């Protein structure tokens, strides 16, 4: 299979005709559907039936499962699902098991009255969240293993499109159904929509991967270093599994990349900081400028949706056209620079037209950066530990940015919006410099 960048833009665009790239549209829909159903949509339901605000807040804790999925990713990587793995293969069996858990949880929520059995509703919501996080692990692993790294930008693009469509269904769609019927009917409809992912999982083919000799030798050396041969009985099996499934993925990453591994991890940690920091204050900024909620919704949702998808599609083509590193640098630069457009907007008279231009530029840039960055993260994994390593990368990608983003309000209150957006742009500088450094290092190493 060709893994070199192609010369023609038209040839690069043909990547979206690949069956596995198209399949990611439906798997992305399956991944995105449960997310809002245990967050804002569920909050709307609970609020609508007069559940106390404090209790609604506690329900948000089920989302912790998305942040700690790295802890059971090794299980998804290594352990088979009884019967299903033999019939479907490792990745499809875990995806199907997770999808079944999501559909069952949504069905259970639909059939439970939160006013009389709130704890049961909470347990079903937890089942949905846990199954959803597990599905994310499995689909990410499938996506990386299904096609070579040069196609990962396109795979990410169709995945993002499906995910965004699912958010519309689980957000606005569920609200509409609840308005004209009731909340149980809305959640029954969402459970039925999970059939989209289930059918796709049954139709697609399991990716074929093999463990290379270097990985096998590295695992053997690790087992020898840990003196696992001295452990007897059932403890030996547990220790062996833990070494190969949990420790080996981290050892492998450092061994393959050497000292550069820490530079790569630093880039992963800072790449989205500028974007996430700005996003925290975006809606308060629009409101403080005097834009109405309708104007904000029209511009950010309409332009935002289509420009994000357009950017992601362009990013996928650029990866096929130029490889990963050049678009990665471009994405980092675009994320940082679009913050300066918001700074300019902050010191000028409010204009819906200019708001649309700024939001369009921001979402186009974000779409490019997202698809390219996902392709980059995918290229870093070893297919022997795909789920574990990608789960680690995706957690590292958002955690520092979310922590720093929490201070956004303080910066706005003390320095104002103009300084805040300049500050957000400056936060993007390390990502640009690290991406350039890694691009040059890759070019030097051939």
One domain, residues 169 and 297: no
One domain, residues 174 and 272: no
Tell me which residue of 438, 402, 430, 401 sits closest to 327, measured CA to CA: 438
One domain, residues 169 and 266: no
Residue range 59-109, pLDDT digits in tens: 878 878 887 898 999 999 989 999 999 999 999 999 999 999 999 999 999
Reported as a pLDDT band with limits 50, 70 and 90, residue 1 is: very low
Does some domain include residue 224? no
DSSP secondary structure, 137-179, as one string: HHHHHHHHHHS-GGGHHHHHHHHHHHHHHHHHIIIIIHHHHHH
What's the pLDDT score for residue 5? 60
Q: Which of 174, 203, 232 finishes a domain? A: 203
Does some domain include residue 247? no
Segment among 168-172, 196-200, 401-405 with least mean pLDDT: 401-405
Q: Alpha carbon 440 to chain centroid distance?
A: 27
Does some domain include residue 4? no
What's the pLDDT score for residue 24? 96
Whole-angstrom CA distances from 97 to 27, 171, 385 are 14, 24, 20
Count how many domains the chain has.
2
Does some domain include residue 28? yes
One domain, residues 146 and 266: no
Q: Which of 180, 203, 226 finishes a domain? A: 203
Segment among 34-38, 101-105, 132-136, 275-279 with least mean pLDDT: 275-279
Does some domain include residue 270? yes
Helix then strand count (H, E) for the chain reads 27, 0
What's the pLDDT score for residue 2? 46
**For position 188, which CATH number holds?**
1.20.1250.20
Structural tokens at position 215: 């990985």
236/355 Cα distance (integer angstroms): 62
What's the pLDDT score for residue 59? 81
The phi and psi torsions of 378 (rounded to 5 degrees) equal -65, -35
One domain, residues 176 and 276: no
Measure the N-to-C terminal CA separation of the chain; round to a whole number of Å: 20
Q: Which of 157, 172, 203 finishes a domain? A: 203
Does some domain include residue 21? yes
One domain, residues 152 and 275: no
Say what the pTM is.
0.83
One domain, residues 177 and 81: yes
Does some domain include residue 436? yes
439/376 Cα distance (integer angstroms): 12
Does some domain include residue 185? yes
What's the pLDDT score for residue 172? 84
Q: Which domain holds residue 33?
A: 9-203
What's the pLDDT score for residue 34? 96
102/132 Cα distance (integer angstroms): 6
Segment among 13-17, 143-147, 262-266 with least mean pLDDT: 13-17
* Position with higher pLDDT, 125 vs 40: 125
**What is the 8-class DSSP label of residue 402?**
H
407/261 Cα distance (integer angstroms): 29
Average pLDDT, the chain: 89
Consecutive H or E run containing 311: helix 304-322
One domain, residues 332 and 198: no
């Amino acid at each position: 299979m060709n893994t070199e960048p192609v010369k023609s833009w038209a040839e690069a665009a043909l990547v979206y005709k690949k069956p596995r790239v198209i399949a990611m549209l439906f798997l992305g829909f399956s991944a995105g559907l449960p997310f809002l159903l245990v967050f804002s949509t569920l909050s709307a339901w609970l609020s609508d039936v007069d559940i106390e605000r404090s209790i609604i807040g506690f329900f948000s804790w089920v989302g912790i499962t998305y942040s700690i999925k790295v802890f059971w990713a090794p299980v998804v990587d290594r352990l088979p699902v009884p019967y299903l793995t033999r019939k479907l293969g490792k990745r499809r069996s875990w995806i199907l098991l997770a999808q079944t858990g999501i559909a069952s949880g949504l069905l259970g929520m639909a059939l439970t009255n939160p006013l009389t059995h709130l704890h049961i509703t909470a347990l079903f919501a937890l089942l949905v969240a846990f199954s959803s996080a597990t599905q994310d692990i499995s689909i990410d692993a499938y996506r990386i293993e299904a096609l070579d790294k040069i196609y990962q930008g396109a795979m990410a693009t169709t995945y993002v499109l499906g995910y965004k469509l699912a958010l519309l269904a689980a957000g606005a769609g569920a609200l509409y159904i609840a308005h004209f019927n009731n909340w149980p009917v809305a959640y029954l409809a969402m459970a039925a929509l999970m059939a989209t992912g289930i059918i796709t999982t049954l139709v697609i083919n399991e990716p074929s991967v093999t463990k290379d000799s270097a990985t096998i030798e590295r695992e053997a050396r690790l087992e020898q270093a840990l003196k696992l041969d001295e452990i007897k009985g059932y403890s030996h099996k547990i220790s062996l599994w833990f070494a190969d499934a949990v420790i080996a993925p981290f050892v492998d990453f450092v061994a393959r990349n050497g000292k550069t591994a820490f530079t790569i991890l630093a880039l992963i940690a800072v790449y989205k900081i500028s974007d996430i920091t700005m996003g925290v204050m975006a809606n308060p900024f629009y409101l403080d400028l005097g834009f109405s909620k309708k104007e904000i919704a029209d511009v950010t949702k309409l332009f935002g949706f289509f420009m994000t998808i357009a950017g992601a599609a362009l990013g996928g083509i650029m990866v096929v056209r130029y490889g990963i590193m050049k678009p990665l640098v471009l994405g980092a630069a675009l994320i940082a620079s679009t913050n300066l457009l918001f700074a300019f907007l902050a010191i000028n008279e409010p204009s819906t037209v200019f708001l649309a231009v700024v939001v369009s530029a921001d979402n186009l840039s974000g779409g490019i950066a997202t698809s390219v960055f996902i392709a980059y993260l995918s290229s870093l994994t070893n297919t022997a530990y795909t789920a574990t390593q990608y789960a680690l990368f995706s957690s590292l990608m958002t955690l520092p940015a979310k922590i720093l983003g929490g201070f956004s309000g303080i910066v706005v209150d003390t320095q104002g919006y103009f300084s805040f957006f300049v500050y957000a742009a400056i936060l993007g500088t390390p990502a640009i410099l690290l991406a350039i450094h890694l691009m040059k290092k890759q070019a030097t190493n051939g």
